[in-house]
Amino acid sequence: MPSQADQRRLRVAARALGRHGLAHAYGHCSLRLDGERFLVCAPRPMGLIGVGEPGQVVPVEGPLPPGVLGEVRLHQQIYRRRPEVQAVARSMPPALMALGTARLTPSARHGMGCYFGAGAALWDDPQLVRDDDRAIAVIKAMGEANAIVMRGNGAIVAADSLEQAVSLTWYLEDAARLELTVRGAGLEQISTVLEPSERDLRATSSGGIFERMWEYLTAGDPELQVQDPHP
């Protein structure tokens, strides 16, 4: 069984994604428990998940348990193919959705955009992903990237921790907001895109980068006072 600490962290993460407009009625997040299982949040709007409301354990291999949302197959395929991934967030950030409809992903124009290298991967299909074949295809398209934008259907972020998955989702949306602003102002040709060496240097985790973003995104959560310390 998952620990109460894991259940609580997952609820806090889910509510943070909802509270900051990164997900609405749809979306889900999960946390790897071990090589064979992961914990996914309750199948409700993430911002409405209640105090103490448990997530559900899902096997990395095999069919989804009853009551688990169909697109959780995307999480399952990531955990199956990428053992280094410890957490996944499936979200619907509005600026990123707008870019995705044009088959675009944000460029690394500022610090937040650098965490996705040359850019997030793109899945050029707006359909829901509710069968294994489609889920496998999406995650193959994602490759080793930490994010994939799904045309007109939000994004998936995979990370080393739940705190990073939530933070990177916010970073990706911030990069999308900036991309839309630059393009809307007609500055695309003169706005700088960071070079690989600049991206590598800027995409740091030192100095409490993810810890501070996690603190910001989870501030005011009803279970925060009993949450375990940041890793």
Query: Within a domain: residue 76?
Result: yes
Going by C-alpha positions, the residue among 29, 28, 40, 35 that lies closest to residue 64 is 40
What is the four-CA torsion angle of 197, 211, 53, 30, rounded to 10 degrees? 20
Q: Check residue 1 and give its pLDDT.
A: 86
Q: Check residue 226 and give its pLDDT.
A: 52
Tell me the mean pLDDT in the region 8-17. 98
Query: Within a domain: residue 227?
Result: no
Query: Within a domain: residue 115?
Result: yes
Query: Within a domain: residue 163?
Result: yes
This prediction's pTM: 0.95
Q: Which domain holds residue 45?
A: 4-222
Query: Within a domain: residue 215?
Result: yes
Measure Cα distances from 139 to 89, 90, 149, 191 in Å: 13, 13, 11, 31
Query: Within a domain: residue 231?
Result: no
Q: Which residues contact 97 (CB under 8 A, 6 or more apart)?
A: 152, 153, 154
| pLDDT at 227 exceeding the cut of 70 | no
Q: Check residue 231 and give its pLDDT.
A: 42
The model's pLDDT over 191-207, given as tens digits with 9 standing for 90+, comes to: 999 999 999 999 999 99
CATH of the domain at 183: 3.40.225.10
Query: Within a domain: residue 229?
Result: no
Query: Within a domain: residue 64?
Result: yes
The model's pLDDT over 120-161, given as tens digits with 9 standing for 90+, comes to: 999 999 999 999 999 999 999 999 999 999 999 999 999 999
Report how many domains make up the chain: 1
